[in-house]
């Protein structure tokens, strides 16, 4: 199989060399280009069309967040993994809301970075463990505040998913492609700090976005703690 192509964006040559050596130890990964700032990152992305962009948040001039937004304007399907010193939930959620597919802190181990790159290349959201825990803590402290970090479209898709609608049904209802709906689905789970659809449903229930009756009615089988739905339909 063709290796996953990676664009490295960091203004420190030693850091880029470290990333290159780490990633290219994996037969399935190949660094296709490097960039030192937001402008050169955009140019390299347009020229090489990498499968994954691994980008530092702090760049000279425009930030990595600015570069992310610029790249996403060019290609809404661009897969960017942000690497940063900040493990706080607020910054992670801001980056994910801007369209990043992953968020890894520089305190993460080398294996965690490799796993994140591979996950993003396969269309999966990737969060390092300390950031995931920070988001989970914030979600438990004030779940409604987490909802504020989602856009109107994401809130609507969250409601529909939690109500039991399939990706193709949501795509038809909102006039979107199934791929776009699946991308939203992955992004929503990362931004609210959950891993499974079951956790997604309980989150939606906890903030009152869906009713227990609506969730139960959508299930083809009874679930302890929920009233029986239309199991005989």
CATH of domain 142-218: 1.10.10.10
pLDDT digits (tens, 9 = 90+) for 62-96: 999 999 999 999 998 899 999 998 877 778 878 88
In this structure, are residues 78 and 71 in contact, taking their beta carbons and an 8 Å threshold? yes
In this structure, are residues 39 and 150 in contact, taking their beta carbons and an 8 Å threshold? no
Architecture of domain 4-129: 3-Layer(aba) Sandwich (3.40)
**What are the DSSP calls for 118-178, one per residue?**
HHHHTT--EE-HHHHHHHHHHHHH-HHHHHTTS-HHHHHHHHHHHTT--HHHHHHHHT--H
- Domain boundaries defined on the chain: 4-129, 142-218
pLDDT digits (tens, 9 = 90+) for 2-40: 899 999 999 999 999 999 999 999 999 999 999 999 999
In CATH terms, are 4-129 and 142-218 the same topology? Answer: no
Question: Which residues have C-beta within 8 Å of that of residue 170, sequence separation ≥ 6?
Answer: 157, 160, 161, 176, 181
pLDDT of 218 above 60: no
pLDDT digits (tens, 9 = 90+) for 190-217: 777 777 888 888 888 877 787 776 665 5
Q: How far is CA 164 from CA 29, 36, 102, in A?
A: 37, 45, 26
């Amino acid at each position: 199989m063709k290796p996953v192509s990676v664009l490295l964006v960091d203004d420190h040559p030693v850091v880029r060399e470290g990333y290159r050596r780490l990633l290219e130890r994996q037969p399935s990964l190949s660094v296709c280009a490097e960039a030192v700032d937001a402008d050169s990152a955009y140019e390299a992305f347009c020229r090489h069309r990498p499968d994954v962009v691994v980008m530092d948040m702090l760049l000279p001039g425009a930030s990595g967040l600015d570069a992310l937004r610029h790249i996403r304007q060019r290609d809404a399907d661009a897969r960017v993994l942000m690497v940063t010193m900040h493990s706080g939930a607020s910054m992670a959620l801001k980056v994910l809301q801007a369209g990043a597919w992953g968020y890894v802190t520089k305190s993460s181990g080398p294996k965690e970075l490799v796993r994140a790159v591979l996950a993003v290349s396969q269309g999966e959201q990737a969060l390092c463990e300390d950031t995931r825990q920070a988001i989970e803590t914030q979600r438990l402290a004030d779940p409604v505040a987490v909802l504020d970090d989602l856009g109107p479209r994401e809130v609507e898709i969250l409601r529909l998913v939690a109500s039991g609608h399939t990706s193709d049904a949501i795509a038809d209802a909102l006039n979107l492609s199934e791929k776009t709906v699946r991308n939203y689905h992955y992004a929503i789970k990362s931004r609210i700090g959950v891993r499974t659809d079951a956790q997604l449903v309980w989150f939606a229930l906890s903030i009152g976005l869906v009713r227990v009756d609506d969730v139960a009615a959508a299930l083809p089988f009874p679930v302890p703690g929920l009233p029986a739905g239309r199991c005989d339909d």
